[in-house]
Amino acid sequence: MATERPDIRRVLASGLVVSCQAWEGTPLLKPEIMAAFALSAERAGAVGVRLNSPEHVRAAKQAGLKIPAIGIDKRYYEGSEVYITPTRREAEALAAAGADIIAIDGTLRPRPQGERLEDLVAFIQEQLKLPVMLDISTLEEARIGDQLGAALLSTTLSGYTPYTERFRTDGPDLRLISAIVAAVICPVLGEGRFHEPAQVRRALELGAYGVVVGTALTDLEWRIRQFVPGKV
């Protein structure tokens, strides 16, 4: 059953969203460092940030972040491939930490604890009173998410689900972005493998509401490797 769609334009402006995340085991994976990344993104003109875990959301808010924080919480449950904010428990923790938008896995794969996608969307938007962003990988998933009344769709998982891996492009999946924009009412974010400013501009020209960029901006080790002799 569809929930009433929040107007994302009242929460998040159109433009660049910076994903402030770090890999497990790297020196950058500290709440205060992710908060600093978020504040730098805000200073540079980003319209929002994407942060992984309630601790990082809370740290950024306490540091004075004023642009919206899209919160996710990556949790792995036995028997399910879904790990981006997979249950109500993670959503509630993000809301308590101050997230302005909650992003969840929007694929059709089985979810932990028998949870249903439509129920989680309704819980977040009707009970937690926060907009839901669905991370999807196909046009079908985007259409279903749109029908459920999600506030925002993002192509985050294109190329990263078992049934889309073979179609993964070197850069962003601009074809999928264009197809989704033409098929849904819900605003769409381009996300995944945006490494050049020209790619961001192209996604916006295709009708994307905004673009999420992570690795190219906040994965410092990835960027350094581009300049290491022998790896260039």
What token pair was written down for 210?
């905004």
pLDDT digits (tens, 9 = 90+) for 128-185: 999 999 999 999 999 999 999 999 999 999 999 999 999 999 999 999 999 999 999 9
Where does residue 10 rank: exposed (0-12), middle (13-18), buried (19+ CB within 10 A)? exposed
Given phi > 0 = left and psi -120 to 50 = alpha, else beta, which region is 115? beta
Q: Which domains does the chain have, with CATH numbers?
A: 8-225 (3.20.20.70)
> In whole angstroms, what is the distance from residue 209 CA to residue 206 CA?
9
């994302």: which residue's tokens? 8
Among 129, 54, 52, 35, residue whose Cα is nearest residue 97: 54
Q: Is the pLDDT confidence value at 231 over 90? A: no
> In whole angstroms, what is the distance from residue 195 CA to residue 191 CA?
11
Backbone torsions φ then ψ of 134, nearest 5 degrees: -100, 125
Backbone torsions φ then ψ of 157, nearest 5 degrees: -100, 5
Q: Give the pLDDT of residue 1.
A: 66
What token pair was written down for 204?
């916006």
List the beta strands (DSSP E) in 128-173.
Answer: 132-135, 152-154
Q: Residue 48 belongs to what H/E stretch?
A: strand 48-52
Q: Give the pLDDT of residue 2.
A: 84
C-alpha separations of 183 from 16, 50, 62, 141 in Å: 22, 25, 39, 11
Average pLDDT, the chain: 97
Among 2, 11, 17, residue whose Cα is nearest residue 208: 17
Angle, CA 132 vertex, CA 26 and CA 94 arms, to 5°: 45
pLDDT digits (tens, 9 = 90+) for 101-126: 999 999 999 999 899 999 999 999 99
- Confidence band, pLDDT 50/70/90 cuts, at residue 221: very high
Q: Give the pLDDT of residue 232.
A: 52
Query: Given the DSSP bridges, would you call strands 69-72 and 188-191 parallel, antiparallel or unpaired?
Result: unpaired
pLDDT digits (tens, 9 = 90+) for 18-59: 999 999 999 999 999 999 999 999 999 999 999 999 999 999
pLDDT digits (tens, 9 = 90+) for 62-94: 999 999 999 999 999 999 999 999 999 999 999
Q: Give the pLDDT of residue 157.
A: 98
CB 146 within 8 A of CB 95: no
